[in-house]
Each structure stands twice: as structure tokens, then as C-alpha cells.
Chain A
Amino acid sequence: MPVYNLYMGCSVPANYPNYEAAMMKVAEALGMEFEYMPDVACCGSPNLRAIDYFGWLVVNGRTLAIAEKNGHDILTPCNGCFGSLKDVQHHLKHDSEDRARVNKELRKHDLEFKGTIKVRHLVEAIYTDIGPDEIRRKITKPLDGVGIAIHYGCHLLRPADVTEFKPEMLEELVRATGAKVVEYPLWKQCCGATILPVNEPLAIRLARDKIRSMKEAGAEYATVVCPACGNQLDLQQLGLKESYGEVYDLPVLLYPQILALALGIGEDAVGLRMNRVAADSILGHLKG
């Protein structure tokens, strides 16, 4: 059974325990062992990278060094954490000067960054280590071909030379549940989350454009794999009635919620009621 160092970050446990619960259930059903990492907290987000590049390197270098101690890959369900860890790992592997500077700080705490493990996003690990075929074998309640639009999130996809993630991975994982993947024009566009602190109306307009694009392409549901993207597409959707006079009523599910339901896990166990736009109609699309 593959074992992973689970790095939750701060947003999933605080804002999306339904994401956390669903991924733990999925891991159990698929035979993946997630071990919560000790002594870690927040990755700092792109905001920390913006104001304090070196601090961001040390914070994330420390997390990576702690994970290296037991040799298991580090896994996170958050695109923000994934982007930070993956980018810092990439930078420290290629810049020996910064690596020496970071390790000088880490040695004060008996830690050293060596770059010996991989940084994994939850969905990449499910795709690579379990795979769509094995998932199909385990599914007991497949979806009935209902159309789902995927929002990948920028920091999962780009920069591609750093993230090493391919959109097809999540596409195949959604199809493995029996759902249809709905293509839509703005599939690559950002959800806007990063600029909420500096330009909230613009951030909301980006989320709205995205939701609209999904809906116009015929999506009945949307799926995300990041708490920040979830916030933008699900929670912010409720505010669009007031700001834009528009109601989209597009339920947004975290991918492990969809997978868990198809694996026969109950809706309460994956916190379906916590989704902001009511998502329980998806239960009517489960066969078997």
C-alpha cells in the first residue's frame, strides 16, 4: 500500500473539511495510506512568495525536509500548497546558492533539504498510483453520464515545466466515475482567488465569467481540486445574484466527493451538505 506524507495546508482543514473527509474516505477505499505530517502549518501562499521570496523558500524547504525524513512522497489536496512546494523544490534543486542559504537556516533545526522525495497533488497521485482502470473496477455506483466541467486551477497546471501535471489526468479520473467531461471555452482561465485582497470586484468577475462559460457549454456540475478555487466558484456564486443579478445554480463538487459517491460512500461521509450551492441532486445521477 503506497504511503504518503499528508500536507493539508491551512485552508482545507479550516474551510473545506468536506474535502478532507472525502479524500480520506477515497484513500481508504483505494488503498492509499495518508499520514498527517508532524510540525507543519501553512505554505504561505503566493502572497508570501510575493513579499518575501527567501522566507517562502525556507518555510517550504522546511516542510519538504521534514517529509524527507521518512522518505515518503509529500501529498497535498490544495493547489496553493502544491504550487508552493513544487516550485520551491524545483528552485532548490536547480539553484545551489539558494539551497545552501536555505539549508543554513534549516540546520539550526537539525533539518536538511536534499530533494529526495516527490511533491504530489492528490489527483495526480490517484491517477498515477491507482489509475482509472483500477478505479473503474472498484466503482459500485457509477454516474449516469451527467456532464461535469473541470476547473483545474492555475497552480496545478502551470508553469507546466514545474508542476509536471497534465490536464488529461483529471479528465480521465472524472470519466472513470461514469460522468461526461464538458469542454468549455474558458477552461484554462483563472478563478481569480489570488487577487481577492487587492481587487475583489475583478476577482469575482473572473469567477463569474468562468461559471458562465461552464453553464453555457451545458455543464450540470463543476468539479475543483483546490479550496481557493472552490471558494471562488462555489461560495462566490451565491453573491452573484446581488452583484450581477445572475443566478447560475451550478453545483461545485470537490473531485474526491464525486469519486467517493461513485465508490458507494454515503453523502454524509463526504459532507455533501456543506457545499454552498446545493449539490445533493448529484445523488439522482448515481446508478446501481
Chain B
Amino acid sequence: MSKIIETHNISKVYKMGDNIVNALQSVSMSIDRGEYVAFMGPSGSGKSTLMNIVGCLDSPTDGTYMLNNQMVSEMTENELAQVRNKEIGFVFQTFNLLPRASALENVALPLIYAGYGKSERNEMAMAALESVSLADRWHHKPNELSGGQRQRVAIARALVNNPSIILADEPTGNLDSKTSYDIMWLFQELHDKGNTIIMVTHEDDIAHYAHRIIRLRDGLVEWDRKNDNVNRRPAEVAAAH
């Protein structure tokens, strides 16, 4: 399989007043296309920093980062914005939907920056909403949707541009257990369809939906192993769907 993400000795140092915090220390790793990876670790382990760098939301202080054969660690802010738009679909813990925009408009948002025309945008956004079973709620504003529905709108938005990777930051952090499982099963389906998914979580149970788990501690990779015990949707639930 081809490598979609490759980091080499990336570090991130924050200055907080007189203190220097080494959020990441020489982290090297690679992720193949189609993998489903979870970054795990306790609070302050560096998992969010790693996700921000992988998601091109932040740049490393040191080291190199290749995303889909592009050296993103040396890109300018506007180049990074283009990479985020084309290569990455984000799913956030707090959904991060625009409150005054409808579900359809929220999903279509990345397409605006990709330069699509309005009709094409709406068509693609509708298809993405259909893929998360929310086509009938396209006109609803976020405050008219449940937490799970909001997260599914966020997932549809992440998918709409057909990105290289889906990056989910604590995607179940704001959801109840049942809804959390619904979202995980949706991720399972996306992975089964060939999408590359990287998920950040501090919940062991949720991390086990991924096929590979990278555990971080104090800015270092503590371990990186294949998950032999993948949580899957029970057959009867799958059948009911």
C-alpha cells in the first residue's frame, strides 16, 4: 500500500511565558492509504498536537512531514489551506458547524473554497448528506438537529470533497454512548469503503474501533501497534440497518 502520511522526527515546542513545552519530540511514523488509525494518550501526551500537524492546522517546529507526497512542513499558510481543503476532511468533537447555516450549506462549505459552482456544490453536499442518512434534514439548522445528527453533518462535510484522509478529533467526546457507537459504525463503513481515517481519542473503547493504535505519552510515541481486537458493529445491528 502507498504511504499517505509520513513524518520524520517532527517536534513541536511551545513557549509559555518563560517555560518551554516540548509537545512533540522527534515523532516519526507513516500511515498507509486506507488505514484506520487511532492516536491515543492521556491529556498532555501530544496527541492533539500531532493531529493538528497531521491535519495541516499547525506546523512542526522541526522535522519533515509528507502528506500524499507533498512536503507540507515547508508550505505557506495559504498553501496549507489548499491542502486542508483538498486532502483532509475534519470531524471535531464540538462538531464546529456554522450555527446560522443549514445542514446542506455546512456540508457544502469546503466546496466553496475548492471553487465549485453553487449547483454542483449543492448536488455534492446532498450526496454527502445521503451517505450519512441525513438527506431529509438538509434544510435544518444545527440547533434543530440532535448531537448525533450534527456529528453526521460534520462527517458528511468531511467527506464531501473526497479527501485523502478523514481526521476525527475526539468525534464522540460530546455524544452519549449510543450515538457514539452510531458514529463509530459510520466510520467503520467509511473505512470499509476505502477511506483513510485518523482518529484522536482518549477513550480506550473508542480507540479499539481503529485497526491500528498509536499511543503517545509526553510527546513521544509510547507504542504503535496493530489492533487485533477491532470493535465491530454487532451483526444484528448491522442487519437492522
| A, B in one complex | no
The interface of chain B, by Cβ under 8 A from chain A, is none
